[in-house]
Amino acid sequence: MKQPTDSKCRMCYKAEEHIKHVMVHTTLVLSEYNIRHNKVAGYIHWTICKHSEFQVTDRYYEHIPGSVIDDNGTTIMWDIPVITDRKILAHLPNVLQHDKKEKTCLLIDMAIADDSNINTKETEKLSK
């Protein structure tokens, strides 16, 4: 293959990065990422709801998270932006559980990272 002169696509011709480069720029991959991400986040939401004794389906993969579930002093939110104590907007954390009795708040913001950027995503999520 003849290597292009365009500097943006030169990485396409490096064997170890060819597949990743092609995959990153494919719309199908982005939609598949969102589906996989939402399935994992949905399982976490289902588990928290079940642990908090909310009524849930028997099978986690049939669970459809509600935006806000509130009962007996516990609120569980799904994909709702919140403002933290550091005055920053936590852009759509996946799951937030606020227990008014225990005075605790669990904020879960997750990413399904590619193997090559796990450290970057971990640092990003911890800094929030």
For the chain, the domain total comes to: 1
Kindly state whether residue 26 falls inside one of the protein's structural domains: yes
Is the CB of residue 3 less than 8 Å from the CB of residue 10? yes
Tokens of 31: 């939609």
Tens of pLDDT, residue by residue over 55-72, are 999 999 999 998 999 988
Share above pLDDT 90 across residues of the chain, in percent, rounded to a whole number:
30
* 25 part of a folded domain: yes
Separation of alpha carbons 107 and 77, rounded Å: 10
Can you tell me whether residue 94 is helix, strand or coil? coil
Q: Which is higher by pLDDT, 119 or 50?
A: 50
Q: Is residue 104 in some structural domain?
A: yes
Distance (Å, whole) CA 9 – CA 94: 34
Domain region containing 107: 7-127
Residue 38: which of 76, 94, 81 has the closest Cα?
94
Q: What is the pLDDT of residue 82?
A: 78
Residue 1 resides in a domain: no
Polymer length of the chain: 128
Q: Taking the model in full, what pTM does it have?
A: 0.66
Mean pLDDT over 109-117 rounds to 73
Is 75 contained in some domain?
Answer: yes
- Answer yes or no: is 2 within a domain: no
